[in-house]
Amino acid sequence: MNELKEADANPETQNLDKLIELASAIAAAQDAMTDDIVTRLAAAIGEGMILMDRVTRNEGLMHLLQALGDPAVQENLEGVAKALTSENFLDGANDQKNMSHGGYMGLIRLLRDSEVQEAIYSLAGFLKKFNAHTQKTS
C-alpha cells in the first residue's frame, strides 16, 4: 500500500499520466475528424484568411481598429452602448414628443434643458472635427 502512495507522489508518474491523457485526447480527436469536418474547417480557415486580408488592406478600417485601443474612445463607445440599451431610451424620446407639439416655442423650451445643450455642443464639436479632417483629405 505504501508503494502505491509513493508512486502517486512521484512527479515522473504524474507526467506520464498527463501524457497518457493527452494521447487519449488526440486519438479521440483523430477519430472524430471526418472528411466533412476537415472540409468545413478548411473552408472556415480560408474565409477567415480572406477576411483578414480585406481588413488589413482597408486603411480606414485599420485606423478605426487602432483607435479602438484608446481608452477615451472605449469610454465613449461604452456610453453610446449604454444610452442605446437604456430602459429609458425610448421613454425619453416619447416624453420629448409629448412635451410640445412642435413649432419654435417647443424647440426653445427643449433648448433650455442643460443636458440638451451639452449634447448639442458635443455633437457640434464632433462634426467640426470631422469636417476639418475631411477638408484636409480632400
Domain coordinates in residue numbering, the chain: 88-138
pLDDT confidence of residue 5: 53
Distance CA 124, CA 121 (A): 5
What integer pLDDT is reported at residue 37 of this predicted model?
83
**DSSP assignment letter at 102:** S
Cell of 49: 484568411
Give just the sign of the alpha carbon dihedral 86, 88, 90, 93. negative
SS (H, E, C) 23-74: HHHHHHHHHHCCHHHHHHHHHHHHHHHHHHHHHHHCHHHHHHHHHCCCHHHH
DSSP conformation class of 39: H
Q: Calculate the average pLDDT of the chain.
A: 82
Mean pLDDT over 63-88 rounds to 87
How does 24-63 read in b/e, with b if 16+ C-beta sit within 10 Å?
eeeeeeeeeeeeeeeeeeeeeeeeeeeeeeeeeeeeeeee
Confidence of residue 95 (pLDDT cuts 50, 70, 90): low
pLDDT digits (tens, 9 = 90+) for 3-20: 555 555 677 788 888 999
| pTM for the model | 0.44
Phi–psi pair at 64, nearest 5 degrees = -65, -45
pLDDT at 137 over 60: yes
Over range 109-118, report the average pLDDT: 90
